[in-house]
């Protein structure tokens, strides 16, 4: 099997073109995937932050939530 070599600059350019084409041709799917990824990152960060705070009761949480509605 032959090996293909490509320099880093050309590889980056090809990846950029591929991502732009993906975004243009599959807008809805790309947007959903991006939104899910951002959601996962935010949830992970919230969990990490929550690990370093004191626990509160369920009643306290709902009291705060009801005040904001």
Mean pLDDT for the chain overall: 90
Contact 60, 68 (CB under 8 A): no
Contact 42, 50 (CB under 8 A): no
Q: Binning pLDDT at 50, 70 and 90, where does residue 69 land?
A: low
The pTM (predicted TM-score) of the whole model is 0.51
Q: Phi then psi for 2, rounded to 5 degrees?
A: -85, 155
Angle at the Cα of 29 from the Cα atoms of 26 and 33, rounded to 5 degrees: 130
Task: Tell me the residue range of the domain where 42 lies.
Answer: 8-68
> Which of 22, 46, 47, 50 lies closest to 34 in space, CA to CA?
22
**pLDDT, tens digit (0-9, with 9 covering 90-100), for 39-68:** 999 999 999 998 988 888 999 989 988 986
At residue 23, the pLDDT reads 85
Query: How many folded domains does the chain comprise?
Result: 1
In order, the DSSP letters of 22-37 are: HHHHSHHHHHHHHHHH
62 inside domain: yes
1 inside domain: no
**pLDDT at position 16 over 90:** yes
């Amino acid at each position: 099997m032959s090996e293909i070599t490509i320099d880093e600059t050309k590889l980056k350019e090809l990846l950029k073109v591929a991502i732009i084409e993906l975004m243009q041709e599959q807008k809805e799917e790309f947007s959903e995937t991006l939104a899910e990824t951002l959601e996962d990152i935010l949830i992970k960060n919230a969990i990490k932050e929550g690990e370093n705070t004191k626990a509160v009761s369920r009643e306290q949480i709902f009291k705060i939530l009801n005040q904001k509605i």
